[in-house]
Structure 1
Amino acid sequence: MKISLRQLQIFLAVAQSGSTTAAAALVALSQSAASAALNELEHSLGVQLFDRVGKRLVLNDSGRRLLPQARHMLDLAQTIERQFVDPHAGSELHIGASTTIGSYMLPAMVAAYRQTHAGARVRALVANTADIVAAVVNFEVDAALIEGPCHADDVDVEPWMTDELIVVAAPGHPIVGDGRKIGLKQLRQAEWLLREAGSGTREAVEHALIPYLHHLPSSFEFGNSEAIKRATAEGLGISCLSRAVVQDLIEAGKLLELATALPTLRRHFYMVVSRHRAASPSLAALLAFCRDWARLQQPG
């Protein structure tokens, strides 16, 4: 066989970093050795894999075709190592979660998982949905749980669980009024506190509300739901958030769930895995646990 795993590793490092110098640092080789390995790979395949743009190496059509296959090959090799090189060592899985899931659901879920899989180690990456999906595509995490639609190619997306969105305000906010149901006109005129662009919560809220309100005027944008609910409690505006996020402040009397003319608002959470990732037994076990855990959380 002319192609080696080391050559594919260097190819992926160059694709990630844009140069053989930076790639060499990633794989602990000299720059000359990294360049030689890349040249050998291109010679074996009979194609150039990168276009030279200034000082950068940019994937061309041939390189983009090889990229998912190279990732798949290296992932298979890593699976073999985990299974056979040190079969008694505990597995380590990298899971990604968008912000609401990562902050309000993942800790309890991982704790429950560790009770039945005592040797497992789980590392979590929490960010907005767009960044988490990118981490799946780039093999930075083994799988992910997201709270917004996924627009990436080369990933498998599975509905995971349903979440309820509710509209809340501080008890002293003018929109609360005399407690009567709040109409769509009042909601259209309100100042809304929203997540940043790229957030799954932002996309889900817009998808749920815009058909009824036609537009969603934002007075402030925040990078996480915790900041939004605290700002809402201070009376800066109203917000639409997951019930799981705001339940503590509702119980403390710092937020009120508003009775509105809107229908019940629900959204889906999704499980995302790369199509090019080989599912190890430990990853398959974690995904099965996530499915079972979600079923137990759903009402009814």
Structure 2
Amino acid sequence: MKIFSEVCKRRSVTKAAEALGITQPAVSLCVKDLERYYDVRLFDRISHRLYLTAEGEKLLVYAHKIIAMFDEAESEVKNWHRLESLRVGSSVTIGTRLMPGYVKKFSAAYPGVHISVTVDNSFEIEKKIINNELDFAMIEGTVHSVGITAKKFKKDTLVLVCGPESAWACKTELRPEDLGEMPFLLREKGSGARELFDSTLFTHGITVKPEWESISTEAIISAVESGAGCSVLPLGLVERELRQRRLLQIPINGICFERYFYIIRHRDKHLSKAGISFFKENGLAPV
């Protein structure tokens, strides 16, 4: 239709070919194909000039509409960053430490993309991925669903901490068996931190019944600082308190709480251009 419209505009096959940057035979063939398809004559050829027939005039009206709609579709699809939205999930640790910076960087590059973030424990985030409530997510710890594709992107360390007035504050190192005697304040079951803590102690034959369980890392930090007990928390979330001596770190002989952060998505879900751009802007490889 663009070729037909250009021929109508130029009243010449040769000039239309020059304007479109294609050969004259290609333009002539296109016009002939249209005439054959609609079984009408679109042009009268008089004195080496082209004049639209009545049928040609009718087709030109539709050609203009088709070209306008095509150009609009091209513009809208290619300018996806003005239209698209992104649903991102995050576990609590990543949501606290990393996600705000990731979102800020992406939004600065693509202000037209609406991005929503859901922060929850890793178990709940996995469920939302499976139910197609999120486009992708970042979690810590083991991925449990076979329907999820996962890729490591960062290593993380958890540390044992207590308050400065705690009875354990004077300890320079603990034996693994000491952990069974300590009052622990822990994240809820389903969180990546809790899963790592439980599985690590299980491999050492140690059982702990927590004094507190909370979905809020901030609440646990505050309680530990006040002397209510000890906890194992991500180093990145307690660095400030450790520097200020509001919390103290106690090494454990033979035990190290380490894990990876993962980027996850449903294995059958296509990663959109907005999703790919999110990872690119933040120097991450998409899953």
Alignment TM-score, normalising by the size of structure 2: 0.68
Matched, 1:241 2:233: yes
The match for 1:164 is: 157
The match for 1:92 is: 85
Output the CA distance in 2 between the equivalents of 1:87 and 1:288. Answer: 16
Matched, 1:222 2:210: no
> Is the 1:94–1:141 contact (alpha carbons within 8 Å) kept by the matching residues of 2?
yes
The match for 1:183 is: 175
> Is the 2:164–2:248 contact (alpha carbons within 8 Å) kept by the matching residues of 1?
yes
Amino acid at match of 2:95: G
| Residues 83, 161 of structure 1: alpha-carbon distance in 2 compared, 3 angstrom cutoff | farther
Q: Which moved more, 1:114-123 or 1:90-99?
A: 114-123
Per-residue displacement from partner, 1:235-261 (whole Å, max 9, x unpaired)? 111111100111121122210011221
Pairwise CA distance, 1:173: 0.6
The match for 2:142 is: 149
Give 1:272's match in structure 2, choosing from 259, 264, 268. 264
Output the CA distance in 1 between the equivalents of 2:198 and 2:145. Answer: 20
Give 1:106's match in structure 2, choosing from 96, 99, 107. 99
Matched, 1:174 2:129: no
Amino acid at match of 1:132: I
| Residues 203, 89 of structure 1: alpha-carbon distance in 2 compared, 3 angstrom cutoff | same
Amino acid at match of 2:92: T
Q: Is the partner of 2:168 in helix, strand or coil?
A: helix
Alignment TM-score, normalising by the size of structure 1: 0.65
Output the CA distance in 1 between the equivalents of 2:225 and 2:207. Answer: 23
| Residues 83, 187 of structure 1: alpha-carbon distance in 2 compared, 3 angstrom cutoff | farther
> Is the 2:176–2:255 contact (alpha carbons within 8 Å) kept by the matching residues of 1?
no
| Residues 107, 196 of structure 1: alpha-carbon distance in 2 compared, 3 angstrom cutoff | same
**Structure 2 portions without partners, runs of 5+:** 1-72
Amino acid at match of 1:245: L
CA RMSD across the alignment: 2.5
Output the CA distance in 2 between the equivalents of 1:291 and 1:236. Answer: 40
When the two structures are aligned, how many residues end up with a matched partner?
214
Amino acid at match of 2:274: S
Output the CA distance in 2 between the equivalents of 1:174 and 1:108. Answer: 38
The match for 2:28 is: none
Output the CA distance in 1 between the equivalents of 2:81 and 2:159. Answer: 47
The match for 2:223 is: 231
**Structure 1 portions without partners, runs of 5+:** 1-79, 295-300
Pairwise CA distance, 1:113: 2.4
Q: Percent identity?
A: 25
Larger Rg: 2
> Is the 1:175–1:186 contact (alpha carbons within 8 Å) kept by the matching residues of 2?
no
| Residues 164, 83 of structure 1: alpha-carbon distance in 2 compared, 3 angstrom cutoff | farther
Matched, 1:286 2:278: yes
> Is the 1:210–1:216 contact (alpha carbons within 8 Å) kept by the matching residues of 2?
no
Output the CA distance in 1 between the equivalents of 2:75 and 2:244. Answer: 47
Pairwise CA distance, 1:114: 2.6
Output the CA distance in 2 between the equivalents of 1:136 and 1:232. Answer: 33
